[in-house]
Chain A
Amino acid sequence: MLLSGLNRTREALNQFLDDSAHVRPEGVAIEEPGCGEISYRDLANLSDQLYRRLYQLGVRPGDRVGIYLRKSIDAVASLFGILKAGAAYVPVDPSAPAARNAYILNDCAVKVVITQQCFEKGFRAEARLDHELPHLLVLEATGGGSFLKAALEREGDLVLPETTTLPSPDDLAYVLYTSGSTGAPKGVTLSHRNATSFIHWCSEIFDPSAAERFSSHAPFHFDLSILDIFLAIKHGATLILVEEETGKSPALLSHLIAEKRISIWYSTPSILSLLTQHGKIKDHDYSALRVILFAGEVFPVKHLRTLKTLLPGRKYYNLYGPTETNVCTFYQIPDRIPEEQTQPFPIGKACAHLQTKVVGEDGQPVPIGNEGELCVSGSAVMQCYWNLPERTAEAFFKDGSGKRWYKTGDIVWEDADGNYTYVARKDRMVKKRGYRVELGEIETCLYRHPAVKEAAVVARPDEENGLLINAFLSYHQGNRPSIIGLKGFCTANLPSYMVPDRFFFQESLPKTSTDKIDYQKLQTIDGNT
């Protein structure tokens, strides 16, 4: 096949689109249910138009451009237009509070933000007054690519850049922000090579064809979207966008997967568990679905077993990897899961494009069977945390040969077959619905509430909810805040998955002998005090 030979060595993400547009111009690149579809040729043209607009606005290679849009063909075209300009795209969560998004876009010093009318006012209100506001390219709305097209045509003739150079492999392609333990989210910077080396690995393992229909369930600020978008486009396949409301509703989602004949599905286990329990899978025709990928958190074996019983004969893969490396280990789930198995499956073996090792406190590799921290090296490992040189330095070490290793903070052990099994985190980061949550970030937010004196957040596994985030608070005399008020306050400042599930009030929080908050004690409190 022409495409697979041509683009196996591509190292710039936008080349995937250019190649597919050349080979399959009429092929459907993206379907946006309810809003239409776009061919490869039209997607390439639309992103070229945006590239020229960005150039005219002064965007140059190395700059960052924000994407503050609902998931749509307009958003995907924007993404490629930014990459073509040699810039990095910075996607923000359209359903997160405007304040958080403004923080991110300001932190990254974006030159331009591509947004839509419903977000404009909130963003302008929150954008810091002591920094120059970036240029806003405001679409009336999103849907089908038509709003981006209209916004670009409105502004008249464009200046053509004299020459267009391809981004080089180590140029930044995107910056993804994740929860930060000290209270502010931090930006993981990833290059074209970081992404393309991962995508080429995906091609080898999952062997997609141009007839494939990929789901796009993950939002674009979540790194699962890298596989969805770029693997689909690389192979000239079709990407089906799943918008947010549908993505949260098992009934609507179940219907969509069948109706749109999705062949490769990728999401967190939470969504798959929901589908298994509430999606009435038996009532739909899932015959097109051949590969099911999941990542981001542990998949309770009970629900995975049920899913495999409902959808047998497919390939199921557990993918593991932090945003800093994208997927770095993988494990194919066996056809049959024994009834008596309750232990989650391993995270598997290192992907071929990366190297891994398990190290002890002293930084030395530990023997097989021993627990240690998983470290990763290779072409997909991030460049740095944006503007955080100290935090970046803490996250890496160099071995005797000068090779740079990223410390994942995940404790694992390796078995005799060479598969890693996840044990626990080294720190106070947890996963809620697959998203990274630094408990410290929630605490910092709570401390900003005027009535809160002390705040401590702990996470407890919960059979029904997966994980419960419990906040323990003490408050200033006579000023006990309402739980409803606290939830509202958190909702205004944090993404929804970081709002504590339960709030407990204490006169003063328990302390250790060194006068620090006694988290171990709080972990044992059930809340019925």
Chain B
Amino acid sequence: MTDTSAISRDVQGYILQEFLPGENPDNLTESTALITGGILDSIGTLKLVSFLQEKYDIKVEAHEADVDHFNTIADIASYVHSKLPKA
């Protein structure tokens, strides 16, 4: 069963690789502002959604891919976790 900290690590790795090449990984924390901080723009968010849907076999509703659910790694991990089938 995937826990939120494992999801956080995956998401952090993906964001560093896709959107922050060359950045010190320690600078990207669970609470770094992604959308409001200019790291994830609308196309970036779409890419992240595709990644999450494929990796975790979940469906992200269009209206949920927004600043309320996707602005921090903690938020994203929590959202993904809530979409996973319960054991």
Q: List 24 A-B contacts (CB under 8 A).
A: A245-B66, A248-B42, A249-B42, A250-B46, A252-B63, A274-B43, A465-B43, A482-B24, A483-B23, A483-B27, A484-B37, A485-B27, A487-B39, A488-B33, A488-B37, A488-B38, A490-B38, A491-B38, A496-B38, A496-B41, A499-B41, A502-B22, A503-B22, A527-B22
From B50, which residue of chain A is reached at the shortest CB distance? Answer: A278
Say if the beta carbon of A251 comes within 8 Å of chain B: yes
A222 / chain B contacts, CB cutoff of 8 Å: none
B48 to chain A, nearest CB (A): 13
Contacts of A499 on B, CB cut-off 8 Å?
38, 41
In the docked arrangement, what's the CA distance between A107 and B43, Å? 32
Query: How long is the Cα–Cα vector from A497 to B20 in the complex, in angstroms?
Result: 16
Contact (Cβ within 8 A) A484 B43: no
* B1 CB-CB contact with A under 8 Å: no
User: Which of A484, A490, A491, A505 is the one whose CB lies under 8 Å from B32?
Assistant: A484
Q: Chain B nearest CB: distance from A207 CB in Å?
A: 34
Q: Which of A42-67 contact B (CB under 8 A)?
A: none
Contact A502 B21 (CB under 8 A): yes
CA distance A229 to B33 in the complex (A): 36
- What is the CA–CA distance of A527 and B22 in the complex, to the nearest angstrom? 9
**CA of A490 to CA of B33, assembled, Å:** 14
Task: Provide the residues of chain A in CB contact with B62, threshold 8 Å.
Answer: 249, 251-252
15 new A-B contacts, CB < 8 A, other than A249-B63, A488-B38, A504-B22, are: A248-B42, A249-B65, A274-B43, A274-B46, A483-B22, A483-B27, A484-B28, A487-B39, A488-B33, A491-B36, A491-B37, A496-B38, A496-B41, A499-B38, A503-B22
CB distance from B85 to the nearest CB of A (A): 23
Q: Whose C-beta in chain A lies nearest to the C-beta of B61?
A: A251
Chain B, range 1-60, C-beta contacts under 8 Å to A: 20-24, 27-28, 32-33, 36-39, 41-43, 46
Asked if A482 and B27 make an inter-chain contact with CB atoms under 8 angstroms apart, the answer reads: yes
Complex CA gap A485/B46 in Å reads: 23
A residues contacting B by CB (< 8 A) are 245, 248-252, 274, 278, 465, 482-485, 487-488, 490-491, 496-497, 499, 502-505, 527
Q: Which of B22, B24, B32, B33 has the most chain A CB atoms closer than 10 A to its own CB?
A: B22
Q: What distance in Å separates the Cβ of A287 from its nearest Cβ neighbour in chain B?
A: 22
Nearest CB on B from A212, distance (A): 27
In the bound complex, do residue B46 and residue A484 qualify as a contact, i.e. CB atoms below 8 Å apart?
no
Taking CB as reference atom, which chain B residue is nearest A491? B38
A246 to chain B, nearest CB (A): 9
| Bound form: Cα–Cα A278–B42 in Å | 13
Q: How far is B42's CA from A483's CA once the two chains are assembled, in angstroms?
A: 19
Report the nearest A residue to B21, measured CB to CB. A502
| A527 surroundings in chain B (CB, below 8 A) | 21-22
- Most chain B CB within a 10 A radius of its CB, from A248, A252, A499, A505: A248
Question: Which 6 pairs, one residue from A and one from B, show the smallest C-beta to C-beta distance?
Answer: A491-B38, A251-B62, A248-B42, A483-B23, A487-B38, A482-B27
B residues in contact with A484, CB < 8 Å:
20, 23, 27-28, 32, 37, 39
Please indicate the chain B residues that have their CB under 8 angstroms from the CB of A278 in the complex.
46
| Residue of B with least CB distance to A481 | B27
B37 interface neighbour in A250, A487, A497, A504, Cβ under 8 Å: A487
Roughly how many angstroms separate A249 CA and B49 CA in the complex, as a whole number?
A: 12
| Nearest A residue (CB) for B43 | A465
B32 to chain A, nearest CB (A): 6
Residue of B nearest to A485 (CB): B27
Q: How distant is B50 from chain A, measured CB to nearest CB, in Å?
A: 9
Give Cα distance in the complex from A135 to B46, angstroms: 40
Return chain B residues, CB-CB under 8 Å to A503: 22
Q: Which residue of A lies closest to B47 (CB)?
A: A464
Tell me, rounded to whole Å, the shortest Cβ–Cβ distance linking A487 to chain B.
4
Contacts of A252 in B (CB 8 A): 62-63
| Distance, CA A450 to CA B38, complexed state (A) | 19
Q: For the complex, what is the distance from the CA of A502 to the CA of B41, rounded to whole Å?
A: 13
- List of B residues within 8 angstroms of A249 by Cβ: 42, 62-63, 65
Inter-chain contacts of B33 with A (CB < 8 A): 488
